[in-house]
Structure 1
Amino acid sequence: MPRFVLSAAAHLIANAIGLILANILLPGFTIGFLGIVIVTLVFTVVSVVLLPIIRKVSEKKLPELLGGLSLVVTFAGLLITEMLVSDFTIGGIANLLAATLIVWLGALIAGVLLPKYLFPSLAKPKAHT
C-alpha cells in the first residue's frame, strides 16, 4: 500500500483516538455516535489545511508560536470543526482548552505508537538508492 495512504490512515486513527478520549473525559464535549467519523474527517482536513498557514504566519510575525504549533492547530481545528459539524459540541471555553490538550496528547501518543505497531512500514525510513 502506498506510504501516503498508510500515513493518512494513521493520522485519521490518531485524531479519532484523541477526539474519543476528549469525548469520554470531558462532560459537555459530545460527538454523536455516527458523527465521530465525520468529526474526525473534518478535524483532520481542517488541521492539515491550517498547519502550513499557521506555520507561515508564525515564521514571519510570531516565531514564538512555532513551539506550540500543534496545540494552536488543534485548538483552531476544534473550533472550526464545531462550526462545521452539527453533531459536535465542545461545551465551553474550559472544555475547549482541556480538549485541545487531550486531543493533542492522544493524537501524539497514537501517532507514535501506530506506526510502530499497526503500520510498521511507516516507522522504517525509506532507504535512498
Structure 2
Amino acid sequence: MITFLFRGLLYVVSAGLGLIAADLLLDGFTIEWDKWWGFVICILIFAILQSVLAPWVGKMANRYAPVLMGGIGIFSTLISLVVVVLLPIGGLRITDLTGWLLGAVIVWLITALGSVLLPLLFLRKKVGAVKGQRR
C-alpha cells in the first residue's frame, strides 16, 4: 500500500513538473498562478485522468487501430488536458493550437521521464542507506 501511495505521489509530482515545463516553454499554455488552488486541483485531476485514460485508450487503439499504439501516452495526455482546461475551476489555460499540440507532447515527455527518474532518485538514497546499515 505504501508503494502504491509513493508511486501515486511521484506521478502527481511528475505531472505537475510537466505542466510547469509546458507553461515555461509555451506562450499559449498558461498556468494561472493567482488561482494556485485551481492549479493544484488541475494537477490532481490530470494525474487521475491520465492514469485511467492511458489503459482505456490503449485498449481502444489495440482493438480498432493497432497502428496508433505508439501514441497512446500523448493521446491520453491530450484528452486529460482538454478535460482539465474545460473544468470551471481555473488554474490552467491553453489558448492556441501550438499550446495544445506541443503542450501535450511536453507534458507527456516530462511526466514519462519523471515517472522513471524520480523513483530511481528516491530508491538510490534508500539503497545507499540499506548498504550503509549492512556494513
* Fold conserved between structures, TM > 0.5: yes
In structure 1, the partner of 2:78 is 75
RMSD: 2.1
Q: Is 2:32–2:90's contact at 8 Å kept on the other side of the alignment?
A: no
Matched pairs, number: 123
In structure 2, the partner of 1:5 is 5
Find out whether 1:49 has 2:52 as its counterpart.
yes
Shift of 1:11: 0.5
Normalising by structure 1, we get a TM-score of: 0.85
Identical-pair percentage: 31
Find runs of 4+ consecutive structure 1 residues off by over 2 angstroms: 118-121
Q: 1:118 aligns to what SS in structure 2?
A: helix
Normalising by structure 2, we get a TM-score of: 0.82
Shift of 1:31: 1.5
Shift of 1:120: 4.8
Q: Mark the runs of 5 or more structure 1 residues left unpaired by the alignment.
A: 124-129
* 1:5–1:78 CA distance, 2 compared to 1 (3 A): same
Q: Mark the runs of 5 or more structure 2 residues left unpaired by the alignment.
A: 128-135
Map of 1:90-105 to 2, 5 A cutoff? 90-105=94-109
Separation in structure 1 between the aligned mates of residue 57 and residue 108 of structure 2, nearest angstrom? 16
